[in-house]
Structure 1
């Protein structure tokens, strides 16, 4: 890669009539990963990255603003719901696992090409566990385990209802627990903990070696206007000197977290009219006490409370941040009208318009129990938070834990065009919104987000550059970056083992050979 254009200290450097091939809004993991792809696919294209803060990875990608779970569906119970037929549905779990495997392949590619020099700085093996109690939840976990065992992607997962075995996996959650309590757990040793902030910063640093890529920090993209020739006029505020500037771009991608909704609305593309956003934040209890941290090495996910959103699933996590181990428990939901942690209190109100106001009201009516849940979370006392912690760590002492505010997420509210009333529905996960001609795209939503970033980037590339994606040149480059591009892993045990052996070797992770299973009885 070549040398980047460094941001000058003085203002007024951006010409009013200047143009660029691609503008990326935000310097989090989505925009930076997208930028990395483009520099490989089209090394001569000019790319501008605009970030409103003074560095990359400071919002949702920041190490303290997410749980750092490498979401592979090993432990997340909400990815395997009961279907209408009463059978555990694992389709979403398979899709997320395959998407995560693609992310691992791309990161391995970056290591191989010396973009990343020490993978242990951002990814480490931490076992993934599901842990439940009471008969109903134990029955569900057993059914889930049996269903997952029928797919090679989940080969190696273990299940137990034996207290001694679970104690060996995670002594902290069992020590002090009643021996009469009926519990169950699954254990997957190849789970991961990921510092998405460090990963993003290393990619961001690598982009500085490309002469066709320019980075502008403390530059706030205010709005977008479509020109008559289908290019985009991007209106920018240089926050250092409060000077407004414009630039013309052939393509624009908005990977600005919660801010994406507001910016897409300024473009006035009809595709964004049916969307609204509902901001939800979170807090975590954190300890770095060595006596406690040494007793737990796993990411333990439980069952969400009735009527609680998927992002509220309680979990007790080992985190490895800059070589140091912490324990994190949560999340506890918070509410703010901001769409970003460093956003404006007016974000929610500015997003309301005649196209989405009724959808928001309908979601409020249809999800009254969810509203009650959020209110209860907001008024929760420190004592009740510790009581919740004790469900997963019976011997917890409040003096060992501090409360940390995590990132802000904006859940998608979308008009359901398939319903007769076209009612608004609350939708979890991530969604790409693009203009009809593909010149503008943005990413809405939340988890599993960063873990499936490569699959999301591929979807964005398909929507923005349809013709290029069908070219031999792009296909060959994509195959170099992601060997399983256009392949399905879930039914090819030879390919699964080949790819996992490759990614584990490059990323310094444990390799566990997948074996086929007969259908569980």
Structure 2
């Protein structure tokens, strides 16, 4: 059958919005040096075994003429593989069909460093940033909201009154929206998944690899389980990670409580949670298998990518915590496990929140445009010219406007210092 690439195109379209937004901020000196948070690292899809190779070739054919995927390449030659991915070629049996497709101008982004630049820019504008503050409650106050904030250092609680609240609290977005009591959150649940990575400690190996290499998730496993051998650039230093391996904890944040999941249960979301529990055998099986993997089994997964990987060159590190969204749907299923991000807002537009996992930070500007459209619809006509100045493709689909895509791609390559 035909390969459905609509999701890849949709995510790419949103990522181009991010690139335009960042370029605007760099060009206007709102953000500082881009190489502190964005660097050029090729993106590679890796297939082994005839079925995967056939799939990858068909996917490449479906994407290669799409304007949002320029200069995409494909090869099933051993020579090309050895030249491009020497670390993965060592000790590999090329009698097994192997292929790669790749995009040379991919990027690696350190969202922590980018966030620090955002916060510095806001502080310079006179915005007060309160660290060590935790929002513990949200209550309606007429047309406004009373936000209870606890100081993590002193234990004191204060109340802030707001006309509009955006809940961007990651895993804690669900409990906070539940506390706000808006009807739109009724029936929604959250399923926490933790993660681990293998991190390379051998500088020689780190230097040998320069790509983000994605495989294909095992049959029945969820999309978040796609393993990758990943070159990272953190604080100017190259690193190499492999994973993620899923773990499980009832916490909604790394620093959360073991009661988070249980506290989020409501009579309204139990049918969705139970419905997903009964349907998602693939996810349950995947999580159980992942949880049972010891370091030896984790290294075996890495050796599918890097046959000569040695235990002593890798250490296990704890990754982030994500909460997958469970969305209420009608009978007979009652609930569906969502793998993207979900935006929830009250009908009066006074509160909105973003829940879910990936894609997350990479498409944040597109998500915030949606918040503006949903919550400030009456002002969008007035704001549109400014938004177009910041994001020239605003209101259009780049996939339908190749000239605009090319112009904005070239502009962002230059502004973000990514052009070779």
- Paired with 1:496 and 1:239, the residues of 2 have a C-alpha distance of 46
1:388 aligns with 2:280: no
Q: Cα offset for 1:493? A: 2.2
1:496 aligns with 2:409: no
- Paired with 1:319 and 1:300, the residues of 2 have a C-alpha distance of 11
- Partner residue of 1:281? 194
- Paired with 1:422 and 1:365, the residues of 2 have a C-alpha distance of 9
Q: Cα offset for 1:280? A: 0.2
- Partner residue of 2:356? 445
1:215 aligns with 2:129: yes
1:179-198: CA deviations, max 9, x gaps?
A: 21101110100110000000
> SS of 1:444's equivalent?
strand
Q: Cα offset for 1:274? A: 1.9
Contact 1:169-1:187 within 8 A present in 2 as well? no
- Paired with 2:408 and 2:51, the residues of 1 have a C-alpha distance of 37
Q: Cα offset for 1:464? A: 1.5
1:225 aligns with 2:139: yes
How do 1:390-469 and structure 2 match up within 5 A? Answer: 390-417=303-330, 420-421=331-332, 423-469=334-380
Q: Cα offset for 1:89? A: 1.0
Please give the TM-score of this superposition, normalised by the length of structure 1. Answer: 0.79
1:350-393: CA deviations, max 9, x gaps?
A: 10010101211111111123212101111111111111100000
> SS of 2:361's equivalent?
helix
- Give the number of the structure whose residues are more often helix, by fraction: 2
- Paired with 1:254 and 1:113, the residues of 2 have a C-alpha distance of 28
- Paired with 1:242 and 1:94, the residues of 2 have a C-alpha distance of 47
- Partner residue of 1:476? 385
Structure 1: which 5+ runs fail to align?
Answer: 1-85, 512-521
Q: Could you tell me which of 225, 229, 237 is aligned with 1:324?
A: 237
- Paired with 2:62 and 2:282, the residues of 1 have a C-alpha distance of 30
- Partner residue of 1:261? 174
- Partner residue of 1:88? 3
1:152 aligns with 2:61: no
- Paired with 2:339 and 2:282, the residues of 1 have a C-alpha distance of 16
Alignment RMSD, CA only? 1.1
Please give the TM-score of this superposition, normalised by the length of structure 2. Answer: 0.98
- Paired with 2:210 and 2:201, the residues of 1 have a C-alpha distance of 13
Q: Could you tell me which of 177, 184, 191 is aligned with 2:106?
A: 191
Structure 1 segments of 4+ aligned residues over 2 angstroms from their partners: none
- Partner residue of 2:40? 125
More divergent stretch after superposition (474-483 vs 487-496): 487-496
- Paired with 2:171 and 2:48, the residues of 1 have a C-alpha distance of 35
- Partner residue of 1:241? 154
Q: Could you tell me which of 396, 407, 412 is aligned with 1:487?
A: 396
1:439-490: CA deviations, max 9, x gaps?
A: 100000011111111110100111111111121xx11211111111112211
Report how many aligned residue pairs link the two structures: 420
- Paired with 1:239 and 1:125, the residues of 2 have a C-alpha distance of 38
- Paired with 2:144 and 2:378, the residues of 1 have a C-alpha distance of 17
Q: Cα offset for 1:240? A: 2.1
Q: Cα offset for 1:214? A: 2.0
- Paired with 2:120 and 2:269, the residues of 1 have a C-alpha distance of 39
How do 1:167-186 and structure 2 match up within 5 A? Answer: 167-186=82-101
> SS of 1:153's equivalent?
coil
Q: Cα offset for 1:210? A: 2.2
- Paired with 1:280 and 1:233, the residues of 2 have a C-alpha distance of 31
- Paired with 1:405 and 1:341, the residues of 2 have a C-alpha distance of 9
Q: Cα offset for 1:492? A: 2.1
Contact 1:151-1:491 within 8 A present in 2 as well? no
- Paired with 1:276 and 1:179, the residues of 2 have a C-alpha distance of 46
Q: Could you tell me which of 355, 367, 379 is aligned with 2:268?
A: 355
Q: Cα offset for 1:231? A: 0.8
> SS of 2:239's equivalent?
strand
Contact 1:288-1:325 within 8 A present in 2 as well? no
Q: Cα offset for 1:422? A: 5.6
- Paired with 1:261 and 1:488, the residues of 2 have a C-alpha distance of 31
Contact 1:122-1:198 within 8 A present in 2 as well? yes
Q: Cα offset for 1:239? A: 2.0
> SS of 1:305's equivalent?
coil
Q: Cα offset for 1:288? A: 3.7
